[in-house]
Structure 1
Amino acid sequence: MIENQEGAAAAAKAAPTAYKPDWLRKPTGQDMAAFFPKEAGRRGVSGTATIACKVVAEGRLGDCEVIKERPAGLGFGEAALGLSKTFRMTPPPAGQIGEQSVSIPFTFQAPRMATAQDGAPRYKPQWLRRPTEDELNAYYPEKAQDREIGGSARLTCKVVEGGKLSGCMVTEETPVGLGFGEAALKLSKIFRMTPPPPGATGEVTIPITFSVPPSLESRFFDGEWREGPAGVAAIIVVSLALILGGLVLARALRGDRRVDL
């Protein structure tokens, strides 16, 4: 009888302690929002994912893999894997680190979309590709170049599939008649914005400001005469320099010791 009791105690001592993981750090609402899939957010779609991980040193999760994702293809599994790096759980007993696996389900709730008065989703577009300074200079109107005048234009467009702009119209142009509206329409073909959610109109208003390109601010830097007010000013400065230089030379030839400009 004593031998049986001793054998049972030895077996209990040898058996591994059951691991019951508990949270040390759960994901916060901010964590969930930060990792929410962009495409799902754009569509306003919620989803779920389940990952399986091993609990390693300090309660971190390692060797995680997605075992379930719904709906597929919108990035909920990838978002769950990203979130797993922020988790902490109670470490497993000594000798079981990296051997204990846990299954973690996630529910991603799409944020509520603001709606307009007519009930349609409110659209808040973001730039995917905006014009560069070189592109603005390239489309700068020729009439404005001749006068070295800056200007602006305002467009109303619809954002369609792929974030392209369609049906653009000039609603404002300053000053009128120098081509800033036409230049803005040409530029609109290279813009890209986030597409609108289903049901939204996708209408956007885009103000564009054209500044005088740096290459037009001075036209006499490379030794080549160019037309325009800046060129006239440059040639006047050069002429004055030549006249003053001639006076200096004349004074020097007369034997003056001091030469001032």
Structure 2
Amino acid sequence: MPILLAFAEPPAAVAPAATAPVLRQSFVVGPNWVSSPTAKDYADAYPAATAGEPADGAARVYCTVTDAGELTACEVKEESIVGQGLGQAVLALAPKFKMAPLSMDGQAVGGKLVELYLRIRPPPPSPPPGVRLVVHPTWVARAAGVDAAKYYPVRALRMGVEGDATLQCGIDAQGLLANCVITCEFPKGSEFGGASLALSALFQMELVDKDGQSVVGGMVRLPINWRLPR
């Protein structure tokens, strides 16, 4: 259930003089995600170890959005480490994403591009004994791209660095996240972990998840991907 932040539309292409205009698809600004991969989906998509080294990195994929908000015709654009299957893992996860037909600002998303920049990491350890892992929460409040602009680490912004972090949080009696800890940060020392901790206060879930079970006292893992405006 990755949270994708800081979506923005890239500048329009400039055509050379005396040539036909360059046509290009625009990007979805502020997608309204209605479904995204679960922790199990990430575990299932995790690539097999290569040369004895577990895959641990990120990949950038561009997809075309259908009128129904599904992702199609996805292409790998970048892998932080080549040869670990990171791009293929993101391609496997892409069909699990779906957005509403209209973006946050009311624009139709059909026919536009969306970028998925996802971290692929080894599956996390199991939760402590007696603590339930909530994998299908219903969010009633969560951070959005506009929040990323406020919390984006200053040094990373100046250096043009993108990254991600994963939090492990408890869930209190109001469905708010509590006692969050950073379980993973990429790149290390980039301060995306601390920024994600700040964002965690903006999240709240229903007290009963999509499986019909109480979330109070459970644990949730929260991957957050940080991207620069484009």
TM-score band by shorter chain is 0.3 to 0.5
The TM-score normalised by the length of structure 2 is 0.38
Larger Rg: 1
The TM-score normalised by the length of structure 1 is 0.34
